[in-house]
Amino acid sequence: MDIKLTPLALSKIRTLVPPSSGNVLRISVYKGGCAGYEYQLEICLPKENDIRLNFEEITLAVDPESCPFLSGSTIDYKEGLTQGGFRVINPRVKSTCGCGSSFQI
């Protein structure tokens, strides 16, 4: 499973998910939105069958069904009053919807 985190994303995850908490940042892809698929990011305990990726002291969990959709992606974080937050830069995406919250592969 090949997913990268930018330094800014890694720094933000550190502030949101203390390693001692046992929680992880979990990412999954599910059907939805006007373009077909959407990302879901959550801070939670990892699920039993999740693929776990370690970045220094941070763990990223990916559900197995989402792996084919996310392989080769980079997770970034953008600071800002509007449109700030985590974003997935995915080379497999062919198009996105007008608002940018869903995508097609």
**What backbone torsions phi and psi does residue 44 show, to the nearest 5 degrees?**
-160, 175
- Cα separation, 46 vs 103, in Å, equals 25
- Cα separation, 14 vs 34, in Å, equals 32
Residue 43 is predicted with a pLDDT of: 95
Give all domains of the chain, ordered by start, each with its CATH number: 4-100 (2.60.300.12)
pLDDT tens string 27-43: 999 887 776 788 899 99
pLDDT tens string 38-97: 889 999 999 999 999 999 888 999 999 999 989 999 999 998 877 788 988 888 887 776
